[in-house]
Structures are given as C-alpha cells and as structure tokens.
Copies of this chain bind each other. A is one copy, B any other.
Amino acid sequence: MQFHHHGYVSGDPRIQTAAGTGVDRPEELPGEVDVLIVGSGPAGMLIAAQLAQFPDITTRLVERRGGRLELGQADGIQARSVETFQAFGFAERIIAEAYWLTEMNFWRPGEENPKNIVRGGRAVDDATGISEFPHLIVNQARVLDYFAEVAVNSPSRLTPDFGWDFQTLEVTDEGEYPVKVTLVRSAGPDEGTERIIHAKYVVGCDGARSKVRASIGCTLAGDAANHAWGVMDVLAKTDFPDIRTKCAIQSHDGGSILLIPREGGHLFRMYVDLGEVPEDDRGAVRKTSIEQIIAKANEIMHPYTVDVRSVAWHSVYEVGHRLTDRFDDVLAQDRGTRSPRVFITGDACHTHSAKAGQGMNVSMQDGFNLGWKLGHVLEGRSPESLLDTYSTERQVVAKNLIDFDKQWSTMMAKKPEEFANPTELEDFYVRTAEFPAGFMTQYTPSLLTSDDAHQDLATGFPLGKRFKSARVSRVCDTNALHLGHQATADGRWRIYVFADAAKPGAASPTTDLAQWLADAPESPLAATPQGLDADAWFDVKVIYQQRHEDIDINAVPEVFKPEVGPFELTDLEKVYGVVDGDDIFQTRGLSRDGVVVVVRPDQYVANILPLTATDELARFFTPLLKGQHV
C-alpha cells in the first residue's frame, strides 16, 4: 500500500484523498452522467469500485432495493475472486471472516445398506497449488459491502443510489449523452416518481431478469427446462460428522444435497435437489416450503438427522442454462460500424446452476473486464474501439462456463447406479478444479492479446490467461513479496521487465529498453499526459536475476524509479531481485535473456516480447492509446 507521498495522511490509508467528481459529489442523481450502472450485485459493485478510481468520470449506480443486500444469494468465492479482492485491497479482511474451503467430501449410499449414506471419498481443494489464494465461502452481502467500502473510500467517493428502478433506455444518436434512461423511484417518500437521466454509457448489472437486456433487444437462449433447488442457510444440531466440510451427498433414491459450511463456525447452507422443473410447472416448485426442504434434507441424510434451530434465509433457486449471444447493444451486422453504448454483465447475460459456485464469481470478472475499458475510453486514453472487446471476450467465457456447469450438473444429478465407478464424481471434481477456481479463462488473440510468437520466453505466463503471481524480493526494503499482489486495481497497464543476466545499469538489453521506454517518442509511456506522474498510466517494474543484496539500486535506470507526487519523491518499490530458493525465472519459465510481459489492468497477460522488440511493443499499444501516433 502506498500513501503519504502527497504529504502525511493521518487515519486509515485505505481512505484515498477525494479528487475530481469526488470533491463535491452531489447526493442527488445528476441529470447527466458518464456511466450509469444498473444494479448493485457483484458485477455492478465491482464496476463501481473500479470506475471510482477514475475521479474525472461521473459514475452513478442505481439499485432498485432501498438499501444494502442483507441475506442469501451466492456464497462461493473462487480463488480468482480472492485474487481480485486483493487487487481491490480487501482480501486479507474477507479471508479473515470467511469459511476456508480446504477439502470436499463425497457421501453416497453405503454398499451394505444403501439406505444409509457413507463417506465415499475426500478431495483436497486445490491440491496442485493453482493459486496462492484460498477458496472461500462467505455471503454475497459481505462481498458487496467490501466493494462498497472501496468505492466510497476512492477519490470519487462513490456510493450507490438506492431506491431507483430502471425501466427502459433508448440509444439516441444525439449529443454527448446519447443514452436516455427512464428510472422510477422504488423506495422513499417519492416512490413511483419517474426520472429521465442521460448517460454516455449504461451498464446493465441488473441480474437474471434484466430490463437493460430487454431494452437492447437481447434474449437469453438455452435449456427450456430449469433445475430447482431448495436453498437454506440454517443453524442446526446434527450428528452428521462432516457438517463443517463441503459435501456432495447422494442418497440411494437419487436425492442429493450440496452442503456448504458457512462463515462464522455454525451456519451452513444446503442445496436440496428438487429436480427438473417441468414447463407446465407454473411456479409450483417455488411454493416448496422450508418445512418440505428440511424434511427432504433429512430423508437424504439418513441415518443422520438435521435438527434445524434457526433459518437465516431460504429460497427456491430455480435456474436453467441460458446465455445471450451478445453482451452489448451492437447487433452482429453492425459490429465494427459503431461502438457499444450499453453493456450487460453477469446474470443479465448468463444463468446456470449454483452447483459449481460460479454465479457471483464470473459476474465479477465480467465487471473487471469492462470497468477499466470504460475508464480508459472516457478519460481519453483509448479509442472507443476498445469497448468492442468486452462482448467478444466475455461471451466466450460465459459459453464455456455454461458447458462446464452442464457437465457438472448432469454429474451431480446422476443416480448412484448410473456412475461408471463409485469415484467418478470426485474424479471429475479433482480433474477440472482449475475451472471452478476461475483460472481457465484464456482470451484469444485480439487487439488486447498478442499471438503466441514469443510465448516460449515466459512459459509460466500463458498469453491471455491471468498473470499468475510468483515471489520476488523487493530491493529497497528487502521484502520477499508476491509480484502479482503489487498490482492494484488502479486501472493501469503493467509492463514487467524481466531483466537479462547483466548487472543492473550495465550496458545491456535491459538498460537499452529502459532508455527507450523513458525517451522514445514511440514508447507507450510517451502517451502519458504532461502533468501526471510518470507512472500514472503505465506501471513499469523490473525484476533482475540477482538477489536483492547484489543489486545497487542507484545503478538501476530511472524509468524503474519514477518521481511521484508534488514532492517528486522517488518510488523505489518497482525494483526487484529473485528470492533465494524460489527464483521467479525458474518458477515461471522465464528466459535468461530477459523478457517483457505486458499485463492488462484486469490482470490478464496481453503480450510477451523479447527485451529488444521495442517496435512490436510500440505497435501493440498504438491502437490502445488515443494520443499515440495519430
């Protein structure tokens, strides 16, 4: 965490100094906004927290509810989300209060007496070390709280505008604020009052029944039938020994439960399978009572009993596998002729079962993908064409998710006798672990992802996948740290220069590259506006092959030690060496001749280049930087 460099800050350093629109932020929703976010679920809150880091942009978020979410909804937090929370600065806090999922157990009908369930197998979570972050379970409400805190503590001082129901929108071709949005007050004394807002961009984060989606003519397509579960968050007495461990439980007659222990040591959630919902169900399944859910759970758990003492929340969660074909308002035939003005994210685009614990997670990644792009375009860093990449990139991810979830759901719904062998379910779970952990997303070559011509220079940073952190040693303070964790969600591009073997400052490709980055008119850094800190748009870090003791920080080129803030202080925290016994060049398969790794603001690897490939580096950024070479 960096602070004090604009002068001493007394108090919580997480509260950033207000700037731009945050200095005098109007309480009332203004008539014209740059970005209007609809919905304060995980997708909407992440985008809000991200755009709040761009204080010159007026971002508002409207939410139908009168206040914060209090209960229910999703609770599974994959490691990729925790990694994202780290970038937003609250990982350590949410980790401290969440349930840590370290093992999943599989229960099935006993061989001797199939009417009794028995523990069939145990699967260690992330046995292969996919991530340094844990897999957590914590209520969605708390995730939203943390994002809300980031947003309000940001320079923009963003807070959600509760009690506004989005009705419809119209994209006009007029003026600076071409999207005309109709809202209605849904809470408070003036409930029912209509209000028109004009926006440059609208982001529909309004969930599965999205009206934003409807207003841009998108529809969810997919399975006709839904699958229903009774979901309950309860406090109970039970003799089931694994009540504090995640379990998939299958009973002899096909009933199944997904048991999710929850934060705090006592609460747990059960998803009790209520089966496929026939098309002519007409909502009957939704009338399943909590008593029925509890009774069903007890049947499945036999010989164990679950004596529910307090019900925190329950619901019938009914959802099919559905997906829209586009995530913005540009029709296929118009793609390339105009840029999108309206986007949809999360459940508004894709719905699927809760069994793989993906809903909240994928929605946040939709938001993470879109947030910085809007920021860069609205700030004038990047051309509007950048916005086309959102739908292209995320629609594929959603498609993969739905395919995966179908497999997983089918597997979970199988009757015991249908399995090829008793461990088929857990084998599948273990084999596919990287997917639900959130690390299978890999963007294909595009404006934002280079082809793999130089992948061999950095085999441990697959192009298009998220930058997998590894440990390095910070020279200035001798701290062994995770390199990836030094990248916060501040909307900046990252250029990691993994140096060749020469001594810092000696004549070498690294030193030449440093010179070019600092001075060449084609360097992406040259696009940074005068008056901003040298590292305002690009965070350039260098990692030498030496240990920190062997690096003379005074010899390190200036571009890796930018001057920042009003006092022009030297930022020394961008210069690293390797950790003894945990050399990042080895763990990430980095060329000893050095390599440049370019990472997007949302943490995905965008480009890998030799140290000498300055032309290619310049060319990569040309279409991404508005002020550059035009």
Contact = CB atoms under 8 A, between A and B. Distances in A.
Main secondary structure of the interface of A (DSSP, over half): loop
Interface stretch (A184-192, A566-574, A613-621): A566-574
Contacts of A568: 237, 309
Interface string A525-537: 0000000000000
A389 interface: no
A102 B474 CA distance: 11
A264 B313 CA distance: 42
Contact of A265 (B3, B265, B310): B3
A423 interface: no
Interface string A236-279: 11010101110000000000000001111111000000000000
B243 A7 contact: no
Given A93-B92, A103-B478, A244-B477, A235 B266 contact: no
Given A8-B310, A10-B70, A264 B3 contact: yes
Contacts of A244: 476-477, 572-573
A373 to B, nearest CB: 28
Contacts of A3: 263-265
Given A8-B313, A96-B92, A478-B103, A264 B13 contact: yes
A123 to B, nearest CB: 11
B237 A571 contact: no
Given A8-B267, A10-B141, A241-B554, A99 B477 contact: yes
Contacts of A565: 266
A145 interface: yes
A89 to B, nearest CB: 8
Interface in A540-587: 549, 552-554, 565, 567-573
Contacts of A549: 122
Contacts of A309: 567-569
A312 B8 contact: yes
A366 to B, nearest CB: 26
Nearest to A478: B103
Given A100-B479, A241-B553, A4 B567 contact: no
Contacts of A312: 4, 7-8
Contacts of A572: 243-244, 265
Range for the number of chain A residues in contact with chain B: 35 or more
A571 B5 CA distance: 47
A95 interface: yes
Nearest to A567: B309
Nearest to A125: B478
A12 interface: yes
B102 A5 contact: no
Contact of A266 (B97, B102, B569): B569
Nearest to A265: B2
A71 interface: yes
A236 to B, nearest CB: 8
Most chain B Cβ neighbours within 10 Å, of A142, A264, A313: A264
Given A71-B10, A241-B553, A567-B309, A573 B265 contact: yes
A11 B138 CA distance: 12
A233 interface: yes
Nearest to A552: B241
A209 interface: no
Interface of A: 1-5, 7-14, 70-71, 89, 92-93, 95-97, 99-100, 102-103, 122, 141-142, 145, 233, 235-237, 239, 241, 243-245, 261-267, 309-310, 312-313, 476-480, 549, 552-554, 565, 567-573
Given A92-B92, A241-B554, 13 more contacts: A2-B266, A5-B235, A12-B142, A92-B95, A92-B96, A100-B479, A122-B549, A235-B567, A236-B569, A244-B476, A245-B477, A309-B567, A309-B568
29 contacts: A1-B263, A1-B265, A2-B265, A2-B266, A3-B264, A3-B265, A4-B262, A4-B312, A5-B264, A7-B312, A8-B312, A8-B313, A10-B70, A11-B141, A89-B96, A93-B93, A100-B479, A102-B480, A122-B478, A122-B549, A235-B567, A237-B569, A239-B554, A241-B554, A245-B477, A265-B571, A266-B571, A309-B567, A309-B569
